[in-house]
């Protein structure tokens, strides 16, 4: 029992001393709607730091003073740090919104007019401007086939073929 508790204590101490920074993104092709549905989960405090660094002022996603301005800021950040190409062509993200879930922020974007997906390229540099230990995990689902990868600072590019 003491060994078991000691292992968990050590993991907790190491995690506390060396925090980790991670995002998880899922890109799903909706063949019926001919769209890509994209959800991105980041730790809210890390995301606020990155947004604030770029904006030059503190950002509060939990209690925004101006929700319209905050949504614009979130979308501008995603457009700069989450770039997508489908079948070799850049696509335009459409902002759906964000929501807070405990200590995380979920951001939602979509891409219209995507009838067929053979290849998706993603340049994901989310939070790289705030943390040099950032890891971004990506899952892509096309025709029920799921592929996953991760990139870590400074690498940001991933490619998925179907």
The confidence score (pLDDT) of residue 16 equals 47
The confidence score (pLDDT) of residue 53 equals 92
The confidence score (pLDDT) of residue 56 equals 87
Closest by Cα among 85, 89, 88, 106 to 97: 106
C-alpha torsion 153→154→159→160, nearest 10:
0
The confidence score (pLDDT) of residue 19 equals 72
**Helices 44-55 & 67-81, crossing angle to 10 degrees?**
90
Domains of the chain: which residue ranges? 21-161
CA distance 5 to 26: 35
Cis peptide before 154 (omega within 30 of 0): yes
Q: List, in order, residues 6 or more apart from 50 with CB less than 8 Å away.
A: 77, 126, 127, 129, 130, 131
**Cα angle 149-37-60, degrees, rounded to a multiple of 5:** 85
The confidence score (pLDDT) of residue 36 equals 98
Q: Which DSSP symbol is given to 61?
A: S
Tens place of pLDDT per residue across the chain (162 aa): 455 444 444 444 444 444 779 999 999 999 999 999 999 999 999 999 999 998 889 999 999 999 999 999 999 999 999 999 999 999 999 999 999 999 999 999 999 999 999 999 999 999 999 999 999 999 999 999 999 999 999 999 999 999
CA distance 117 to 145: 12
């Amino acid at each position: 029992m003491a060994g078991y508790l000691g292992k968990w204590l050590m993991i907790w101490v190491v995690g506390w001393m060396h925090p980790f920074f991670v995002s998880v993104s899922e890109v799903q092709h909706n063949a019926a709607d001919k769209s890509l549905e994209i959800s991105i989960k980041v730790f809210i405090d890390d995301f606020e730091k990155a947004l604030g660094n770029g904006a030059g002022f503190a950002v509060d996603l939990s209690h925004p003073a101006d929700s319209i301005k905050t949504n614009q800021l979130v979308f501008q950040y995603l457009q700069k740090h989450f770039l997508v190409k489908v079948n070799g062509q850049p696509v335009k993200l459409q902002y759906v919104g964000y929501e807070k879930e405990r200590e995380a922020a979920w951001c939602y974007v979509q891409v219209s007019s995507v009838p067929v997906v053979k290849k998706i390229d993603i340049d994901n540099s989310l939070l790289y401007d705030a943390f040099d230990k950032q890891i971004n995990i990506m899952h892509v689902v096309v025709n029920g086939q799921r592929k996953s990868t991760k990139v870590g600072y400074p690498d940001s590019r991933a490619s998925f073929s179907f």
